[in-house]
C-alpha cells in the first residue's frame, strides 16, 4: 500500500518480502547509529538472521504490524516499523500504536523522508482505529524536534543505572 504524505519527490509504502535486502541494509545503519549512543546496541551474533526471520514471519501480511519504507526512484531511503500493542492490566491504557526503528539513510536526512514516514505511520494507525500512538527515542537525539513539530509530546522518561562494578548504593 502507498501512503499520501507531504513528500513530493518520493513515496512511502508498505514493505513486502521482496524488500528484505533493502530493509536489512537500513536496519544495519540504524543499529550502527544506536551503537554510537550505547555499545549494548551492537548486533549480537545471529541477530541479523533473527531480525530477518521476525520481518518475514511476523510483519509480512500481518494485521498487527508492518514496515513502512520511504523510496525515491529505485532507492529505499528510510524505514520504520509500525505495530499494534496491547493494553495494560491495571490502567485504562488500551491497544495503541508503537513506532520502532525510525531511520533515514544519512544521505537523505533533512529532505522530509523522516516526516513522511511518521505521517504514513499515523495513517496506518488511523486505519487500525488506534486511539493514540507512541515512539521511543534515545534521549537528546536531534529528531526530538521533529516529533514535537508533528504534535507529539514527551510522556515517559526512563532512567537507567548499570549495576556492574557499582560501588554506589
pLDDT in tens, 107-153: 999 999 999 999 999 999 999 999 999 998 877 777 888 888 999 88
List C-alpha distances in Å: 71 to 10, 68, 86, 168. Answer: 5, 10, 30, 49
pLDDT in tens, 2-38: 998 888 888 999 999 899 999 999 999 999 988 988 8
User: What are residue 66's DSSP bridge partners?
Assistant: 82
Q: Mean of the pLDDT values across residues 49-73? A: 88
- DSSP assignment of 105-169 equals -GGGTTSSHHHHHHHHHHHHHHHTT-S-EEE---TT-TTHHHHHHTT------------TT----
Start-to-end C-alpha separation, the chain:
53
Asked if pLDDT for residue 70 goes beyond 90, the answer is yes
With contact defined as beta carbons under 8 Å apart, do 78 and 108 qualify? yes
pLDDT band with cut points at 50, 70 and 90 for residue 68 = very high
Q: What is the DSSP letter of 138?
A: -
Q: How far apart are CA 79 and CA 68, in angstroms?
A: 6
Q: Mean of the pLDDT values across residues 92-102? A: 88
Domains of the chain, earliest start first:
2-149 (3.40.630.30)
Amino acid at each position: 500500500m502507498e501512503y499520501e504524505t507531504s513528500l513530493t519527490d518520493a513515496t512511502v509504502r508498505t514493505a513486502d518480502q521482496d524488500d528484505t535486502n533493502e530493509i536489512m541494509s537500513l536496519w544495519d545503519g540504524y543499529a550502527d547509529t544506536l551503537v554510537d549512543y550505547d555499545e549494548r546496541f551492537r548486533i549480537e551474533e545471529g541477530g541479523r538472521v533473527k531480525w530477518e526471520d521476525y520481518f518475514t514471519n511476523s510483519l509480512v501480511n500481518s494485521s498487527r504490524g508492518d514496515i513502512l519504507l520511504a523510496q525515491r526512484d529505485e532507492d529505499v531511503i528510510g524505514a520504520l516499523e509500525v505495530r499494534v500493542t496491547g493494553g495494560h492490566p491495571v490502567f485504562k491504557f488500551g491497544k495503541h500504536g508503537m513506532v520502532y526503528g525510525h531511520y533515514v539513510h544519512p544521505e537523505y536526512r533533512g529532505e522530509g523522508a523522516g516526516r513522511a514516514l511518521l505521517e504514513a505511520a499515523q495513517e496506518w494507525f488511523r486505519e487500525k482505529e488506534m486511539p493514540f500512538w507512541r515512539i521511543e527515542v534515545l534521549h537528546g537525539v536531534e529528531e526530538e524536534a521533529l516529533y514535537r513539530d508533528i504534535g507529539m509530546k514527551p510522556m515517559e522518561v526512563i532512567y537507567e543505572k548499570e549495576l556492574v562494578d557499582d560501588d554506589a548504593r
